[in-house]
Amino acid sequence: MCDANIRRPEALFAELYHSLLRRYYSALLPDSLKRSNDIFSKLFILDSSTISLFTDVMKGAGTTPSNGRKKGGMKAHVLIKAEDDIPCFVLLSSASRNDKIIYKYMNLPKGAIIVFDKGYGSFRQFDKWTKQGVTWVSRFNNPWKYEQVSERKIGQQDGILCDETVILGDPKNNNTLKIKARRITFFDKEKNRTFIFVTNNFKMAASKVASIYKRRWQIELLFKRLKRHSPLRYFLGESENAIKIQTWCALICDLLVKIVKDKTTRKWSYANIASMIKLHLMTYIDIFNFLNNPDKALNYYSPQMPNGQLNLFKGG
């Protein structure tokens, strides 16, 4: 299998994942958007997760240890549609690559809203999205320089400390790209912390901008789900190709479970469906019939299946 995975292109599995997505969730694709007045139906979340590798096949991130050799690391750059909780675009790279490499592969429709952490901050990309009619929301990065243009009245908005219009970019440097933006200071009572957000949306309530950024945590829960049900700690090969193939297989598995979950009429949690599929992998049964009506599905009778399922071994 290791030898086969060296020769087998990982792009095949990447295309398989995205083709499944196109077939079952065409409305989730980054370049599609439902017609809705609900802000969160238009929300995309962008982030990345690093997978540590006990091999230096892919260059690791961070400081070099005392022995002079880094462990390898792979980074999954993921864009999800908040409403459906599924990765609608995935890019795999070495952990040392900058998060912003995903920008040249992404295409968001006009009217979309994208939220991300300050590590994705790029004035050039901010300007591009603004011209395309895309709303962006991010944390303010302290090294950024800005100049205040005006300050808005806060009114009765819980947690909002300041709402100002600013020009991002060094005002003293004529060669620096400057972006008009909104800078919102928010105090989170639950965490007892102050956050500063930036956005290009000047119409939305400041408290709504804060709630949009709070939804960014959803992608962290997705990463936890993937690592819990498809633990990527042990790999069947040490080549970059083999590692990416196994990662794509984990993503495909997650997508298939989500498809089953969304197509069943009875309400099941993702964890329950994943567990039952593992238990019944060798059971000859229709998964949808089973999940919709477990008792009747297990008692299904057929002349070719006298006991309700096929025998795994002769004479069994």
Q: pLDDT at position 214, please?
A: 92
Instruction: Considering only residues 129 and 285, tell me which one the structure prediction assigns the higher pLDDT.
Output: 129
**pLDDT top residue among 84 and 36:** 84
Asked if the structure places residue 306 within a domain, the reply is yes
The answer on 113 and 80 residing in a single domain is yes
Domain-located, residue 88: yes
Q: Could you tell me if 287 and 238 lie in one domain?
A: no
Q: Are residues 109 and 45 in the same domain?
A: yes
Amino acid making up residue 71: K
Give domain status of residue 170, yes or no.
no
Rounded to whole angstroms, the Cα distance separating 158 from 207 reads 7
CA gap 55, 195 in Å, rounded: 38
Residues 6+ apart with CB under 8 A from 183: 140, 146, 148, 162, 163, 164, 165, 166, 196, 197, 198
- The answer to whether residues 101 and 25 belong to one domain is yes
Residue 63 resides in a domain: yes
* Overall number of domains in the chain: 2
Mean pLDDT of 79-101: 85
pLDDT value for 53: 60
Question: Same structural domain for residues 31 and 58?
Answer: yes
* Token pair in block for residue 14: 């990447």
Longest pairwise C-alpha distance within the chain? 85
Does one domain contain both 313 and 225? no
Closest Cα partner for 99 from 116, 85, 81? Answer: 116
User: Do 30 and 96 belong to one domain?
Assistant: yes
Residue 187 is assigned to a structural domain of this protein: no
24-77: per-residue pLDDT in tens? 887 656 666 666 667 888 899 999 888 766 555 555 444 444 444 444 578 889
Q: Which of 210, 241, 250, 261 is nearest to 87 (CA)?
A: 250
**238/305 same-domain check:** no
- N-to-C CA span, the chain: 31
Q: What is the pTM of this model?
A: 0.80
Q: How confident is the model at residue 316 (pLDDT cuts 50, 70, 90)?
A: very low
DSSP string covering 99-157, please? GGGGGGG--PPTT-EEEE-GGG--HHHHHHHHHHT-EEEEEPPTT--EEEEEE----S-
- Planar angle of CA 115, 79, 62, nearest 5 degrees: 85
Rounded Cα distance between 247 and 303, Å, is 41
Report the interhelical angle of 270-279 vs 217-229 (nearest 10°). 10
Residue 104, Cβ neighbours under 10 Å: how many? 9
Convert the pLDDT of each residue in 15-34 to its tens digit: 999 899 888 887 656 666 66
What is the C-alpha separation between 145 and 102, in angstroms, rounded? Answer: 25
The three-class DSSP label of residue 39 is: helix
Distance of alpha carbon 219 from alpha carbon 116, whole angstroms? 10
Beta-bridged to residue 90, according to DSSP, are 78
- In a domain, residue 288? The reply is yes
160-168 and 135-139 strand pairing? unpaired
Residues 184-193: what's their mean pLDDT?
Answer: 92
Nearest to 73 by CA among 97, 91, 90, 89: 97
Q: Is residue 194 domain-resident?
A: no
Same domain, 38 and 111: yes
**Residue 189 located in a structural domain:** no
Residues 51 and 95 in one domain: yes
Q: Phi and psi for 157 in degrees, rounded to 5?
A: -120, 110
Distances (CA, A) of 40 to 46, 70, 195, 203, 282: 14, 40, 21, 16, 40
Q: Where on the phi/psi map is residue 28: left (φ > 0), alpha (ψ -120 to 50), or beta?
A: alpha
pLDDT, mean over the chain: 82
| Full residue range of the structural domain in which residue 303 is found | 280-316
